[in-house]
């Protein structure tokens, strides 16, 4: 068995362990009916043990893949996203031993599972690095970014728990609608996994040529029926579906098609869940947070951001600009990825200003923490998959 195969098996073990731990954490919280926290203490220990087993397997995946590739496994969407899921779990483990909060595991682990499942839909084959990535700055820049985003995601999990606790779901309000919109967006990630798996199972492929933004001929293979066509596309597959709309060269229509199918599948899944349970997803989760200490969740969310923000500043801005100067002879070029990194940084800077300067704590702070995670995920999904730029190799 090769290192690459061992790496894949270890990631699968981690995924299964996180899945089992999610249900055990849920049982620990749900079983705490009288508020004595005995169930949380007993089953929480079991759940964190399973989580630790999964995390050790996750680390094993990371380092065996590093050995197989010869470089830090952070060079493409599969590697970066799996690392993101790993740092998210690492942050939760540290917080669990500090605060003993099983309910945080019940939220964080499913998100980590979605992130790893999302990653698994991308090509995972071991391949040599392109010249632009053959530098130590790959590990320095990307590792700090992925660690920072994992920590910042913890703040969103704490914020979501806070909102599930305090928002009145029995009354129609903007807060109730916003909370359900968050649940819907998480189901859309699952929609991507289902859509990718379905069309992969059917073996769908369609090849097209097109003219890229550099006015050069290029080729693309669709793995889902092409809703959007590339710029000046020509079909090479005889029975391929004709794209409904032709996109400008700055937009990668193949990836936009993937996102669109994911939204369609995710929307169907969301309404299926609503029909089966006959209630909103936020209402399904509401009973699990009845004993939550909102002040503790607010503190966890704030502390995660004051730790994650400076690390993000280092990785996404300072280290990124140094590498950009080395690779492209300029510190800043308004590449889409650079722009959204700056937007993310400005958002968290605004969060700290509002929190420390304007006293935005509690519910306002929780909403901002969740919105920050949405921005991170938009950068990960939409910017990487749809908008063409210098970072498109990832």
- What's the 3-state SS for 133-153? HCCCHHHHHHHHHHHHHHHHH
Q: Taking 70 as the threshold, does the pLDDT of residue 36 lie above it?
A: no
**Which H or E element spans position 222?**
strand 217-222
Cβ-contact 391, 257 below 8 angstroms: no
Tokens of 42: 């007993």
Number of Cβ atoms within 10 Å of the Cβ of 239: 6
Percentage of the residues of the chain whose pLDDT score is greater than 90: 50
Number of Cβ atoms within 10 Å of the Cβ of 11: 25
> Where does the pLDDT of residue 292 fall: very low under 50, low under 70, confident under 90, or very high at 90 and above?
confident
Percentage of the residues of the chain whose pLDDT score is greater than 70: 94
Q: What is the pLDDT of residue 33?
A: 58
The mean of the pLDDT values for the chain is 88
Domain ranges of the chain: 3-168+279-386, 170-278
- pLDDT, average across residues 33-42: 62
Tokens of 259: 């996102």
Q: What is the pLDDT of residue 291?
A: 85
Residues 311-361: pLDDT tens digits?
A: 999 998 999 888 778 877 777 777 888 888 999 999 999 999 999 988 888
> Where does the pLDDT of residue 295 fall: very low under 50, low under 70, confident under 90, or very high at 90 and above?
very high
Q: Any idea which of 132-146, 186-200, 287-301 has the lowest mean pLDDT?
A: 132-146
Residues in the chain: 394
Integer Cα distance of 228 and 239 in angstroms: 16
Tokens of 228: 């959007």
Tokens of 6: 């061992």
Q: Taking 90 as the threshold, does the pLDDT of residue 19 lie above it?
A: yes
Q: Taking 60 as the threshold, does the pLDDT of residue 393 lie above it?
A: no
Residues 112-127: pLDDT tens digits?
A: 999 998 888 788 887 7
Cβ-contact 18, 109 below 8 angstroms: yes
Give 228's strand partners: 245
Give 292's strand partners: none
Q: What is the pLDDT of residue 132?
A: 65
Give 234's strand partners: 209
Q: Any idea which of 21-30, 124-133, 369-378 has the lowest mean pLDDT?
A: 124-133
3-state secondary structure of 386: coil
Q: What is the pLDDT of residue 4?
A: 83
Q: Which residue has the tokens 């970014």?
A: 145
Q: What is the pLDDT of residue 139?
A: 82
Tokens of 152: 């910042």
Q: Taking 80 as the threshold, does the pLDDT of residue 13 lie above it?
A: yes
- pLDDT, average across residues 150-178: 93
């Amino acid at each position: 068995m090769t290192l690459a195969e061992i790496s894949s098996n270890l990631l699968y073990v981690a995924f299964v362990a996180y899945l089992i731990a999610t249900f055990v954490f849920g049982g620990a919280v749900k079983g705490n009916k009288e508020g004595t926290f005995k169930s949380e203490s007993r089953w929480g220990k079991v759940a964190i043990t399973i989580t630790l087993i999964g995390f050790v397997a996750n680390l094993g995946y990371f380092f065996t893949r590093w050995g197989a590739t010869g470089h830090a496994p952070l060079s493409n969407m599969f590697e970066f996203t799996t690392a993101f899921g790993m740092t998210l779990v690492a942050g939760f483990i540290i917080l669990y031993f500090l605060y003993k909060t099983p309910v945080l595991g019940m939220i964080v682990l499913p998100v980590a599972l979605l992130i790893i499942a999302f990653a698994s839909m991308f090509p995972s084959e071991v391949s040599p690095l392109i010249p632009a990535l053959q530098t130590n700055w790959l590990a320095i820049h990307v590792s700090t970014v992925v660690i920072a985003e994992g920590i910042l995601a913890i703040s969103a999990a704490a914020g979501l728990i806070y909102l599930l606790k305090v928002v009145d779901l029995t009354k129609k309000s903007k807060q109730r609608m916003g909370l359900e919109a968050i649940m819907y967006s998480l189901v859309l990630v699952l929609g991507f996994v289902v859509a990718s798996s379905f069309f992969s199972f059917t073996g769908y492929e369609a090849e097209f040529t097109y003219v890229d933004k550099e006015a050069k001929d290029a080729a693309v293979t669709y793995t889902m029926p092409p809703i959007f066509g590339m710029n000046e596309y020509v079909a090479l597959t005889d029975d391929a579906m004709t794209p409904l709309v032709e996109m400008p060269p700055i937009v990668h229509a193949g990836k936009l098609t993937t996102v669109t199918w994911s939204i369609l599948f995710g929307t169907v899944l969301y309404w299926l869940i609503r029909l089966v349970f006959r209630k909103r997803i936020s209402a399904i989760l509401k009973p699990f947070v009845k004993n939550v200490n909102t002040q503790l969740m607010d503190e966890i969310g704030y502390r995660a951001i004051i730790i994650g923000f400076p690390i993000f500043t280092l990785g996404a801005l300072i280290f990124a600009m140094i590498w950009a100067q080395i690779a492209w002879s300029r510190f800043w070029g308004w590449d889409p990825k650079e722009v959204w990194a700056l937007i993310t940084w400005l958002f968290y800077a605004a969060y700290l200003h509002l929190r420390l300067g304007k006293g935005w704590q509690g519910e306002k702070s929780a909403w901002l923490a969740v919105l920050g995670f949405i921005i991170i995920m938009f950068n990960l999904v939409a910017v990487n998959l749809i908008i063409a730029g210098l970072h498109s190799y990832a």
